[in-house]
Each structure stands twice: as structure tokens, then as C-alpha cells.
Amino acid sequence: MSDTQPAHHTKHLPVLAYPFNNVAFHLVQRDDGISNGTALWLGAQVLSVYLSAEFKGKSKTIETGTNNNISVLYDTARPKAVELGSGVGLMALALASLGYDVLATDTMHVCASVLRSNINANAHLVPGRVHVRELNWGVNSTEWKWDDNVSITSPAPLPRRGDDSRDFLAPPFDLIVSSDTIYDTALVAPLFETIHALSALSSTTPICPPSSLSSIEASPAPPSKSSGTPTCKPPIIYLAVERRDPTFITATFRRAGEEWGLLFQRVPEKRLRRAGVGVGWDAGEWDGVEVWCGRWDGVTGAVK
């Protein structure tokens, strides 16, 4: 992280040249007061560095190619990730660089103002595909549409964009990620209901017994070939949060387990440091940022 600055020092910059591994993403951001999601935040920085270190050298690829003179590896059956609250797109692009096809989701405002343009501008730098779509956490999952290339949750079909000939990214997903999205009590239930629904859609029926998920490892599963059909084990989940209010964060993760069967463990800080988080930064620059790893227990909670 020595080549980057903490997000709170760069809010005033309209464009970020953001080094990540062997490439530099150019990310437009807007600190316009309309939405928190149009600027970069610390959680995305920390989570992208952590997963990059954990996944490094573990991606399975079977075909080599080049893209704009940049050597990349392509997998004909890449694992799929879905991100909730993608913001300026750093995390989605980071996962795509690590071998994932990524469904990057956010509000319509964020998608239109920064996310879609940032993904399009940097797509040539990564081997994985990134699709951008609106996902309103307040819409019941029974009303979600996976064949609309603009919005999953719009009540009426929206005008299609010019790329609707491609395959749509839809469940099952191998990985669910979200960063900087747990800060408001009113958003907790919609967020976890959405994560629960995505987990259920990515698992078989009947679902797994809770005993098979009694232990959650604090290390991610590396990118690997997906069969394209739901599997017994629900997708792994990574959340990055800032512990501004310790009581609220503790209660939030307890509630996730009790109400939705989303069982989380905090990734130890020493593991984050070992992955390179905070390298080159002053000691206090990322204080309070935590990464939590979890899975749905396969039983608790009715799908929305």
C-alpha cells in the first residue's frame, strides 16, 4: 500500500491513479454530498489488499493471452463474485484482476455517476469480466431479475445498454463481498437480507445442515473453476467495516448470526498486516478498519 494514500486524504481528487499489483486503475470519484458511494473509502482499500495477498499464486488458469500489451491469464470457467455497494469500483476491479468474474452492484445514482464509467475505463486491465447493475437492498429477492443488464431490482424493464449480447452474471456465486456498508442501523437488515438471499440462491435445496458450517476459516478460498450450478456449501462472505461505534458493530455481527444465520469471524489484525495492509502508512491511518469472514449456516432465516 506504500504507493497509495488512505482514502480520507484523497476525497478532494476528482480522479485517482490507483496502483494495484502490476496495473494502475484510474478511478473517477465525486465528493458531492449526494451519496457516500461516489468516493473511495478505507474498507475497500484494506479488503482489496488482503484478498490480493491471500489469493496470490492460487488462481487456476488454463489459457494465456494478452490484452493491450499486458500479459493476463484467462480461465474459461472463472469463479463468480458479487459485490454489494461497489462505489467507485476498486474492489470489483481488484477481484477481476485476481481471476473472478464480478457482478458489481450499487444504487442507480452510484452506477450512473461513477461505477459504470470506472469499470468501462479499466476493463482492459483485468482478465475477469465486471458487469455493473443496480441492486436495491429493499426489494424482495422474489422480484429480482437476472436478465436485465441495467438493474436487478427495477420494477419495470429499463432501456438496455449496448452490451446485452453477453452472458449475464447470476447465481450461483462463489464469493460475496462488501465494504464500508455497515454504518447506519437502518441499512443493517436490508444488507443482511440481501446477503442471505444471495447465499441461498447460490446453494442447493435442500440446504446443508448447520453442522457442516460449524467452523469458519479466516482465510479465503482461492479462485477456482465453478461448475455453474449451486453447490452445497454457501459462498464465502467478506465484509470490511470501520469500527466507529464498537457497540454497534459488535451488535450488528451478533444480529447477523441470530436472525439470518450469517456466521462471521473477524480476521485478526496481524493477518491483515502480514498481507501488506498499512505498509507505508502511518500507524493510525487505518485504525478501526476490520475484515470479517463468514458464511450462511444453510438453515436460518427465510429467503426474502
Question: What is the rounded distance in angstroms from the CA atom of residue 212 to the CA atom of residue 107?
Answer: 35
pLDDT tier at 217, thresholds 50, 70, 90: low
DSSP secondary structure of 48-107: HHHHHHHHTTT----EEEEETTEEEEE-TT--EEEEES-TTSHHHHHHHHTT-EEEEEE-
Over the stretch 27-42, which tens digit does the pLDDT of each residue have? 999 977 777 889 999 9
| Residue predicted with more confidence, 31 or 71 | 31
pLDDT at residue 300, as a whole number: 86
- Asked if residue 175 lies in contact with residue 79, where contact means CB atoms within 8 angstroms, the answer is yes
Taking Cα atoms as reference points, which of 205, 173, 177 lies closest to residue 191? 177
pTM metric for this prediction: 0.86
Taking Cα atoms as reference points, which of 82, 83, 70 lies closest to residue 181? 83
Over the stretch 275-288, which tens digit does the pLDDT of each residue have? 999 889 998 999 99
Over the stretch 255-265, which tens digit does the pLDDT of each residue have? 999 999 999 99
pLDDT tier at 74, thresholds 50, 70, 90: very low
- 251 three-class SS: helix
pLDDT at residue 227, as a whole number: 52
Which domains does the chain carry? 7-296 (3.40.50.150)
Q: Which three cell numbers stand for residue 110?
A: 452510484
